[in-house]
Chains A and B, each alone.
Chain A
């Protein structure tokens, strides 16, 4: 769907700005400069305001991401279910380090919280959520994304 078509699904009212960004991201994977400009024009808002808004939310990406992003929850309840061992296993398996951006294909980050504390440890690969992950399951999850 073209960007213009997505925009036309929404009235250019302030309360639709976040909705529009989410809808655009669903289609385009990220909200880059070009997308920001078009959204700003549609809402008759300054580009700086739209960009500052978009970049505020961790759920909105303003840059293209070529790497697989793997996130492991580091919240207390997930920790008590050994999420740090899960993170360590991923580090070993992919030869990466949490928070370090050096690997060309993968990135491991800590996150919290998806509100799934009763189903921890929680691991997220891009948009896909895995619950009750054990260190020994890590290999299977990673393999399915290679």
Chain B
């Protein structure tokens, strides 16, 4: 089942006509000409679409909240600031079919009544930034972007905003702060951005992949979409397979597919590389949990589940993988990217990184073992935003699952 990747092979990202030939921008025309904003929101709500960035919040409900908040100005932001090790699905969408994101963004902005939209792109994505700029220019020529979209009374301006290398800016309130010219630190919630976001105005921040689903929902209707994938979270998802699997890269699969299928089915991962034996899989990027062989049959969905899907990256470690290197890699990333706003995360990630360095060079001290537990508890229970918690997830699982490998116990 393909929604997002279906026409990628037919599309030239630098030519808007190739997108239009596959039915592109029909959904935007349908929304603006035939629907009221509230109807568009209702359609997305009924479709059951959930945010694809990691949190999995119902998209339609988010939109409704912003639409219902009275304000003169509203903003709509596409979050393309992915920068977690193992995540690059949004980059691929921008590369293969930028108009898919732009169309979803336009429909969203129309639905909530935002005249100004941003695409917040990871500062390292230079090439994708250029592709999006060209795509926007072409969309403007066709009157999809700018004043009076396709001759209607709707005005939507889209601007690209480049980040500058800060993982935390993927968190929506930190992202908003950085656009406002403030340090990219997360804000206290509530108020949530749909009520008071960018410059204090109602603001929607949606992941790029989420928006790429919108045109399909508007065109085919909520019912068709809601029948794909799992009941709790319908639709398909771009899964990124990496590590010891044969077919690494992006694979689109319905939500509710199990990790077992993704890794071993020849449609997707095709099993492990020759001579390699499965050890564990990390679900959802560097902030994801470690899944042992016995749990592979769990369906991956958004909503309540033991192994949160996150951004959809699945890293497969084989029996020869160096766990100490991986532990260092996780600690190194989070200590570098901690924004410094709250002490538990700033200090916790730093101390964990120091311990990881010792672990890597086999100089673990007597006291480290207890300290690891303390730090992990503090990170998972006391940090200001979820990112501090993320830093502890993989470590906590590794300590529980493989203490002998870490502490060299007999």
Residue numbers of A with Cβ under 8 A of B are: 14-19, 21-22, 43, 45, 49, 52-53, 56-60, 73-80, 84, 110-118
A56–B395 Cα distance when bound, in Å, is: 26
In the bound complex, do residue B165 and residue A76 qualify as a contact, i.e. CB atoms below 8 Å apart? no
Complex: how many Å from CA A58 to CA B91? 20
Give the most central of B83, B88, B322: most A CB within 10 Å: B88
Residue of B nearest to A12 (CB): B181
B242 near A80 (CB under 8 angstroms)?
A: yes
Contact A76 B243 (CB under 8 A): yes
- Complex contact B333–A74 (CB within 8 A): yes
Q: What is the CA–CA distance of A136 and B288 in the complex, to the nearest angstrom?
A: 33
Residues of B whose CB lies within 8 Å of any CB of A are 82-88, 91, 122-125, 159, 161-166, 178-184, 199, 240, 242-244, 248-249, 282, 286, 313, 315, 317, 321-322, 325-326, 328-330, 332-333, 336, 339
Residues of B within 8 A of A58 (CB): 164-166, 336
In whole Å, how far is B56's beta carbon from the nearest beta carbon of chain A? Answer: 21
Within the complex, which residue of A16, A45, A52, A117 is in contact with B87, where a contact is CB–CB below 8 Å?
A117
CA distance A139 to B52 in the complex (A): 41
Closest 7 CB pairs of A and B: A75-B85, A59-B165, A59-B164, A17-B181, A57-B164, A14-B181, A58-B165
A110 touches B86 (CB 8 A): no
Min C-beta distance of A77 to chain B, whole Å: 4
* In contact, B91 and A115 (Cβ under 8 angstroms): yes
Q: Which residues of B contact A113 (CB under 8 A)?
A: 83-87, 286, 333
Q: List 9 A-B contacts (CB under 8 A).
A: A14-B199, A15-B181, A18-B163, A18-B181, A57-B123, A73-B85, A110-B336, A112-B336, A118-B248
State in angstroms the CA–CA spacing of A56 and B88 once bound together.
Answer: 23
> Is the pair A80, B162 in contact by a Cβ cutoff of 8 Å?
no
Residue contact B178 to A18, C-beta cutoff 8 Å: yes
Distance (Å) between the CB of A146 and the closest chain B CB?
A: 25
Tell me if A115 and B82 are in contact (CB < 8 A). Answer: yes
Contact A18 B164, beta carbon cutoff 8 Å: yes
Structural contact, A114 and B164, CB atoms closer than 8 A: no
Cβ contacts under 8 Å, B321 to chain A: 80
Within 8 Å CB of A43, what residues of B? 181
> How close is B310's CB to chain A, nearest CB, in angstroms?
13
B329 touches A79 (CB 8 A): yes
